[in-house]
Amino acid sequence: MGKVTGFMEIARQTGTQRPPEERIRDFDEFHLPLPLEEQQAQGARCMDCGVPFCQSGMMIGGMASGCPLHNLIPEWNDLVYQGRWELALQRLMATNRFPEFTSRVCPALCEAACTCGMAAGAPVSVRENEHAIIEYGYASGAMRPVPPPVHTGKKVAVVGAGPAGLAAADLLNRRGHTVTVYDREDRPGGLLMYGIPNMKLDKSVIERRISLMEAEGIRFVLGADVGGSLPAREVLESADAVVLCCGAKQPRDLPVPGREAAGIHFAVDYLTSVTRSLLDSRFADGRAISAAGKQVLVVGGGDTGNDCVGTAIRQGCAGVVQLEMMPCPPQTRTADNSWPEWPRVCKTDYGQQEAIALFGQDPRLYQTTVKEFLCREDGSVSGAVIARLESRVDESTGRRVMVPTGEEFTLDCDLVLIAAGFTGCQPYVADAFGVELTGRGTVATGAPYTTGVPSVFACGDMRRGQSLVVWALREGQEAAAAVDRYLMGYTNL
């Protein structure tokens, strides 16, 4: 390591965030990076730990520990400290082809598993080091188109332009195959584009990368609903292999009385409408589902629920409440959740921070769910009957489940956003290609990433189920190697 005692001499330092009161006035990214010189010093905190759990990507305690992409983190941290930014970029891109995405939206599994965090109490700022490397790459011109020098004559169709599809397309194109990416939306990116709000991931970041991929020879066909308006047969006949990467976009519903009331929307539809209107017209078209002046109820406590909170606040909601079925996690690790497991602790994300700053209280109500929606005479939602829950052991399965306590109360609301997760892929694409689905609503695959239909592969959330962007990238990369082996008899990906 460039500075063996760096972790003892240099304190962890991260970029700042614009104050909540300021950032809620716009949809711009609110995280402000450190100056390059200060970020460079942070690379010295990476210690010669011997066993770098940060890059392990292991499953421990049923959850991922370390980076699923097996990023060479100690290597490029050292190069950052030495100021050898172009070499750091090369080492980063060797394992992660899309660090501009992960450095913004990944929950940093690497930092949770960082040995320095266990030993010194503060992990290395891996994600921000990664962000500095890739942004240096774009600013310096090192991130430039590199078309494949040789073409194989093989054609691959990638259905879905989300992170898994982009990762698969990128590697297959580098290998020399002719790649066409189909997506039913008007912009590529999948949930990166329309599922993650602009303040977390500015859409110019996606557009910048898509332009680079197009310059390298990848063709994007947008507005192409494969399995719908575009028959699957046409895609199969146009390519030697097909990769299905359509995500897990079947939202989990809330089948309770009053669900049909106007003003109740799935979170993904709400977030999509807001981002699309922002990009199309800066909201001048009036097509975004609006929370302005409304009491908003968000059902679901994950990242998507938090994004709904932050978005509703930016639209000028009158108030927001977020329901969480599970109990509030502890503030610190418990004895049965030791390092390097993922820390199951309470996290107050940007949306909740903004709600606290604006309304004076945390929007989350733990151990609650909706029992019934209440409606006005015009059919619009006016409130919800909320049931309190408690954790009990199901005697038939031995598992803990959340069950009603019998205590109920009513909340007023004018807009309800259901962010209860997803139940798998939308089945019409799988049906169109004749591939089977599992009981979880995902595409059934063998090893590696093969479906029951010759030449058709599947990866990402469509195969794995709802997960993180970093897992989608890994699946796309591994599926690309499987497709390459199918086409060429071997692979060097």
* 1, pLDDT greater than 80: no
What is the structure's pLDDT at 50? Answer: 87
Exposed, middle or buried by CB within 10 Å (0-12, 13-18, 19+), for 273? middle
Q: Judge whether residue 205 has pLDDT over 90.
A: yes
364: tokens are: 């989350």
Per residue in 7-42, pLDDT (tens digit) is 999 999 999 999 999 999 999 999 999 999 999 999
The CA-atom distances, in angstroms, between 457 and each of 323, 413, 448 are 38, 44, 9
What per-residue confidence (pLDDT) applies to 62?
A: 84
Question: Over 80: is that where the pLDDT of 2 sits?
Answer: no
Q: Distance between CA 28 and CA 278 in Å, rounded?
A: 11
Q: What mean pLDDT value characterizes the chain?
A: 96
Say what the alpha-carbon torsion angle 79, 81, 86, 89 is, to the nearest 10 degrees.
Answer: 70
- Paired tokens of 187: 């912009």
Helices (H), 244-400: 267-281, 303-314, 350-359
CB count in 10 Å sphere of residue 203: 19
Query: Which stretches within 389-434 are classed as H helix?
Result: 427-433
Q: For residues 183 and 160, is the Cβ–Cβ distance under 8 A?
A: yes
Dist CA 100 CA 90 (whole Å) = 14
pLDDT digit string, tens, across residues 139-182: 999 999 999 999 999 999 999 999 999 999 999 999 999 999 99
User: Per-residue pLDDT tens for 363-422?
Assistant: 999 999 999 999 999 999 999 999 999 999 888 888 889 999 999 999 999 999 999 999
- Taking only the tens place, the pLDDT of each residue in 91-102 is 999 999 999 999
Residue type for 166, please? L
Cα dihedral 477, 478, 481, 487, rounded to 10, equals -110
The pLDDT tens digits of the residues spanning 46-62 come to 988 888 999 999 998 88
Structure confidence at residue 64 (pLDDT): 87
Q: Using CB atoms within 10 A of its CB, is residue 387 exposed (0-12), middle (13-18) or buried (19+)?
A: buried
